[in-house]
Structure 1
Amino acid sequence: MGQVLHGSATTTEAVRRAIQLRQESVRALAKRYGVSPTTVQKWRKRSATADAPMGPKQVRSTVLT
């Protein structure tokens, strides 16, 4: 079974891992993988390659009052 990406994900876990491991410049990696330099910088800062959870931070009740 394949990985599940959220709707606005621009990279896969394999690309994120490659971004974190390669020593190329931010601009070169952005061009190589077809993403923005901001995306490269974001994934270089993170320690994991998993998507961040999307949605509200605090879960609200779904029961009507």
Structure 2
Amino acid sequence: DHAQLKKHLADFIDAYNFGRRLKTLKGLTPYEFICKRWTLEPDRFTIDPIHQMPGLNT
């Protein structure tokens, strides 16, 4: 139905944007950039960014 299609499209767009490589981040995905920053400057983060990754176990 329409609600399922709308939800599926929103999930697809979120996954596309999450995995998209950006020029402003020197070719990294937003997630890769955050993980790289976390390894360089762990004191700026209160938690491990890997724990916030959306995926199959949500």
> One fold, TM greater than 0.5?
no
Find the structure with the greater CA-based Rg. Answer: 1
